[in-house]
Structure 1
Amino acid sequence: MPKGKRTRIVALTRTRKKGLDSKKKLMDDLRSCLEDYERVFVFSVRDMRNAKLKDMRTKWRTSRFFFGKNKVMAIALGRTAEEEQADGLHKLSKALRGQCGLMFTNSAKDDVVDFFGKYVEADYARAGAVATDDVALEEGPLPDFPHSVEPYLRLKLGLKTTLNRGVVTLLKPHIVCRKGERMTPEQTRLLKLMNHPMAEFRVNLVAVWSKDGVVERLNPDADGEEDEEEEGSGAEDDAEDMDSD
């Protein structure tokens, strides 16, 4: 029987990009928050992790966090003195560069600065990250690894291993990574199996706006380094995740 003309093969990997409705909602939410909060911080994130961002939001339940396209957030606040939604906001918009977000809060500026100055969460490095120290495995038994992981170590991660009476045993020394070198996916997976974090999730406060119209630059060196076209990539999803109840 001939194949029907209506038959179509649809790739399940296709996703529909968010359009104007999503951008308009983000802008409306930002403008609404300007009425409810005394301060707005621009922050950048080092070693982005969505789970860590959600944990951070939990610690600041009375505040709101947004992580979206920089251009959209800048338009919402106002890019010029004529467009700004409140006095001084166009100066804050200029700080929206690279991978960054907005925090709306009624907390005192010093309390916010003090908290994020100390807030650091260790995490596992991702492929492409630079190793912070030398890590090596010595020849001999590796009792910290369960026996079930031995084939994975040998076949996927390239270690010379065997099982000796049920204990994973390394047949020759293995350099996991060297300080200052960028790591491969195999190296980062091995570090995770070793429970050896090499990344630090931290939030850098870039600038703050207060309702009196004053904008203060907090950390000019914290600006993101990503290209303008890539800034905030995929961030609108994060904004919804972080601010949904």
Structure 2
Amino acid sequence: MPKSKRNRPVTLSKTKKKGREHKEVIVNSIRQALEDYSYAYVFSFENMRNQKLKELREQLKPSSRFFLGSNKVMQVSLGRSAADEVKPGIHKLAKFLHGDSGLFFTKLPKEEVERLFKQFEEHDFSRAGSIATEKFTLTFMHSSEENLQFN
């Protein structure tokens, strides 16, 4: 029986997949950053907004570089074990790359980096799934006159 021409999936997007070449560019740029910068850090984040990261990147542009991407690609660029690491001891950073995390390369000393990250705390509106930071009570009139409390 011939195949039906009606049930074929049609891709509507014009985007092309990021292939091996794109991953190799990321690996090479992270390895170049290892040579250019004196310090490397792994940072993690929750509900990060792109605009806030852009502001931090712009503030630290002359002395630092951020990398966000696939954790496995970043792990490969650092080296997953002592045998395939790029610099001595750098494979230990790869173990911390999981979840929402990224790499931060800088020429600034540790104390300055800690001060900048503590100083750069931004408050923003909550998103779906966020936990409330304050308790509040809603009172409404109902036939049984009960109060509801939310945490």
Q: Normalising TM by the smaller chain, what interval?
A: 0.7 to 0.9
What TM-score do the two structures reach when normalised by structure 2? Answer: 0.79
CA distance in 2, matches of 1:178, 1:66: 39
Deviation, structure 1 residue 17: 3.4
Q: Which amino acid aligns with 2:89?
A: G
CA distance in 1, matches of 2:36, 2:53: 22
CA distance in 2, matches of 1:70, 1:138: 47
What residue in structure 1 maps to residue 70 of structure 2?
69
CA distance in 2, matches of 1:135, 1:28: 52
Judged with a 3 Å threshold, the aligned counterparts in structure 2 of structure 1 residues 137 and 57 are, in CA distance, closer, same or farther, namely farther
Unmatched 5+ stretches in structure 1: 140-174, 180-245
Deviation, structure 1 residue 118: 2.9
More contact order relative to length (CA 8 Å, sep ≥ 6): 1
Determine if contact 1:70/1:97 at 8 Å carries over to the other structure: yes
**What percentage of residue pairs aligned between the two structures are identical?**
44
What residue in structure 2 maps to residue 42 of structure 1?
42
CA distance in 2, matches of 1:138, 1:15: 51
Pairwise CA RMSD? 2.5
What residue in structure 1 maps to residue 58 of structure 2?
58
What residue in structure 1 maps to residue 18 of structure 2?
18
What residue in structure 1 maps to residue 31 of structure 2?
31
What residue in structure 2 maps to residue 90 of structure 1?
91
Determine if contact 1:74/1:93 at 8 Å carries over to the other structure: yes
SS of 1:46's equivalent in the other structure is coil
Determine if contact 1:31/1:77 at 8 Å carries over to the other structure: yes
CA distance in 2, matches of 1:130, 1:109: 32
Deviation, structure 1 residue 137: 8.1
Question: Which shifted more, 19-28 or 36-45?
Answer: 19-28
Unmatched 5+ stretches in structure 2: 141-147
Q: How many residues align?
A: 137
Q: Which of the pair is proportionally richer in strand?
A: 1
CA distance in 1, matches of 2:35, 2:54: 24
Q: Which amino acid aligns with 2:79?
A: G
Q: Which amino acid aligns with 1:38?
A: S
What TM-score do the two structures reach when normalised by structure 1? Answer: 0.50
Deviation, structure 1 residue 114: 1.6
